[in-house]
Amino acid sequence: MNSQFPEAVGCPIQWAKCWDRRTDGIGYLPGIIRRLDYLSSLNVTALWLSPIYPSPMRDFGYDVADYTAIHPWFGTLDDFDRLLDAVHVRGLRLILDLVPNHTSDEHPWFVASRSSRDHPKRPWYIWRDPAPDGGPPNNWLSFFGGPAWTYDERTGQYYLHQFTRQQPELNYRHPEVLEAMLGAMRFWLERGVDGFRVDVVWLLMKDRDFRDEPLNPQWDGLKPHGRLQHIYTANLPETHDVVRTMRAVIDGYGDRLMVGEAYLPNPDLMRYYGRFLDECHLPMNFQLISSEWRAREVRRRVDAYEAALPPGAWPNWVLGNHDQPRLASRVGPEQGRVAAMLLLTLRGTPTWYYVDELGMQDVPIPVGQMKDPQALNQPEIADRMSRDPTRTPMPWDASPYGGFTGADAEPWLPLAEDYPTRNVEAQSRDGRSPLALFRALTALRQRTPALMIGDYRVPATPVPDDIFAYLRMLGEARILVVLNFGAGLHRLDFSAAARCGELLLCTGLDRFEPPDLRALVIRPNEGVIIRLAPGG
């Protein structure tokens, strides 16, 4: 394994629903091929696709019915091979979503497992007898509301599912299950994919004794799933054996990447690198998503994460994904620019979610048009739970439906209201747009080794509460990043760090003067990147 790959990835972008120009409003692989020049223009180096496998789409592809084929909505295996070639020709990498924790209830494995208690595939899934009162075997909960168990009339047992009831969970205590999943991985690795983002990697193992989970005294009353402490359904020590085995398969194919989805606090998250760095290359670090958007809190999180990293582990940062509200809705449009600068100047592989580069906000989706099972299964809190607002089509231009589909085909979710002005074409013409800033940041990062692989350090200079300032350093090169999380103007004295410097970029893309390090002006909601003169 070439351990440089995670950094070489530079900035993977997650492309969920930006595939265009057909008549069914969904998007497909050939549409992505046509838009690859756009990806190249973003200077990102890898593309992660949400699941594209055959699926009844109860959870938009995260309910896989066949791990080694393409859903006809999205095209064919030939289309996939053409996409992979086109991605590689551009020097990009392609990462697939692997969903090993659960299948669709229409997957032939589950159909067989469900067919009788004696079927050899019965133990591939997690079946339990009812409790003495006939109810679910224990108190485990689904992330999507209600119990994590569904009763199967025909065979008289319950099966486990932590998401929709159409997503039964595989039993990784049965050796054939892992073998089957490794087979699916090999199928795609042999075709040439550059790696996997492994879905809910921290949930793969469950308590052998199926004990009830204790109540969570910290529960904020918001998400019903949070009512319990998930000590028997998440982050079990045995999970690491599975992850290590998967990584060994990936390593067998050379320079490939394993990214793991795990919403965990630092000490637990770090274990997913593996004791010998033999698990995930990048256990996803979601702290910037969950953080209160204040300079001090963000700095505290960055410092704590940096300090917790095991020796040799490469960091990573995530600002958005298909499960979370959009960046600009979370932090506000002005701070969206600061957040982009933060992500692209921190040490570690950044992950970006499509359309955030346009500064687009969540798109309100009326209850009647909601598609997300997390919302539909919990109607009383649907507004809060729906992930649809973050999954709407890519607005390419001002034409009907933003050029995502033809004018005659309504997209699967509505476009943002402001798409006639907030779209790729319009922002490409505007030298100060969020898109222009994103391109400038990624280009700067790619040509600046100190930003790519340099050390991270906070300078001794005291700064006001609203400011987060840090250095990225490689050899003689020192890059100073100063971010203003507030609405006030500040004059800061960085003369102890260097006598002079060169302003490389500011979030407004409108300052070019040499910076005065004795009285560096930082405007409200502004970030700047300065190359410090050597010495100092």
- Please list the active-site residues: 199, 261
Q: Which residues, 405 to 464, sit near ligand NOJ by CB under 6 A?
A: none
Tell me how far apart the alpha carbons of residues 395 and 400 are, in angstroms, rounded to a whole number.
10
Q: Which residues, 474 to 503, sit near ligand NOJ by CB under 6 A?
A: none
φ, ψ for residue 169, nearest 5 deg: -90, 135
Nearest of 154, 123, 148 to residue 136 by alpha carbon: 148
Cβ proximity of 505 and 441 under 8 Å: yes
Q: Which residues, 151 to 180, sit near ligand NOJ by CB under 6 A?
A: 163
Q: In whole angstroms, how close is the CB of 16 to ligand NOJ at the nearest point?
A: 9
Question: Site map for ligand NOJ, 301-340, x if CB under 6 A?
Answer: ---------------------xx-----------------
Q: In whole angstroms, how close is the CB of 62 to ligand NOJ at the nearest point?
A: 3
φ, ψ for residue 225, nearest 5 deg: -60, -25
188 interacts with ligand NOJ by CB under 6 A: no
Q: Which is nearer to ligand NOJ, 281 or 391 (CB)?
A: 391
The residue within the footprint of ligand NOJ, chosen from 59, 105, 169, 466 (CB under 6 A), is 59
Cβ proximity of 29 and 70 under 8 Å: yes
Q: In whole angstroms, how close is the CB of 373 to ligand NOJ at the nearest point?
A: 8
3 state SS of 443: helix
Contacting residues for 115 by C-beta, under 8 A, at least 6 apart: none
Q: In whole angstroms, how close is the CB of 101 to ligand NOJ at the nearest point?
A: 7
Contacting residues for 290 by C-beta, under 8 A, at least 6 apart: none
Helix/strand/coil (H, E, C) string of 268-291?
HHHHHHCCCCCCCCEECCCHHHHC
Q: In whole angstroms, how close is the CB of 210 to ligand NOJ at the nearest point?
A: 21
Q: Which is nearer to ligand NOJ, 352 or 419 (CB)?
A: 352
CA distances from 156 to 116, 128, 150, 151, 395 (A): 10, 9, 10, 7, 49
200 interacts with ligand NOJ by CB under 6 A: yes
Q: Which is nearer to ligand NOJ, 79 or 169 (CB)?
A: 169
The residue within the footprint of ligand NOJ, chosen from 53, 62, 438, 470 (CB under 6 A), is 62
Q: Which residues, 234 to 273, sit near ligand NOJ by CB under 6 A?
A: 261
Residues that contact ligand NOJ, how many (by CB under 6 A): 9
Contacting residues for 81 by C-beta, under 8 A, at least 6 apart: 191
The residue within the footprint of ligand NOJ, chosen from 199, 357, 388, 526 (CB under 6 A), is 199
Q: In whole angstroms, how close is the CB of 181 to ligand NOJ at the nearest point?
A: 14
3 state SS of 333: helix
**Partners of 158 in the β-ladder:** 128, 151
Number of C-beta neighbours around residue 383 at 10 A: 14
3 state SS of 482: strand
Q: Which residues, 95 to 124, sit near ligand NOJ by CB under 6 A?
A: 99
125 interacts with ligand NOJ by CB under 6 A: no
Q: Which is nearer to ligand NOJ, 50 or 138 (CB)?
A: 50
Q: Which is nearer to ligand NOJ, 200 or 365 (CB)?
A: 200
Contacting residues for 404 by C-beta, under 8 A, at least 6 apart: 18, 20, 21, 27, 393, 394, 395, 396, 411, 415
Q: Which amino acid is at 82?
A: R
Q: Which is nearer to ligand NOJ, 200 or 228 (CB)?
A: 200
Q: In whole angstroms, how close is the CB of 31 to ligand NOJ at the nearest point?
A: 21
- Calculate Rg over the CA atoms of the chain: 24
Q: In whole angstroms, how close is the CB of 77 to ligand NOJ at the nearest point?
A: 23
Q: Which is nearer to ligand NOJ, 103 or 442 (CB)?
A: 103
Q: In whole angstroms, how close is the CB of 366 to ligand NOJ at the nearest point?
A: 21
Contacting residues for 364 by C-beta, under 8 A, at least 6 apart: 389
Residue 477 region by backbone torsions, left for phi larger than 0, else alpha for psi between -120 and 50, else beta: beta
Cβ proximity of 397 and 429 under 8 Å: no
Q: Which is nearer to ligand NOJ, 236 or 444 (CB)?
A: 236
Q: Nearest residue to ligand NOJ, using CB?
A: 62
How long is the chain?
Answer: 536
Q: Which is nearer to ligand NOJ, 268 or 278 (CB)?
A: 268
Q: Which two tokens stand for residue 360?
A: 């687009």
**Partners of 479 in the β-ladder:** 472, 531
Cα angle vertex 386, ends 374, 160, to 5°? 10
Binding site for ligand NOJ (CB under 6 A): 59, 62, 99, 163, 199-200, 261, 322-323
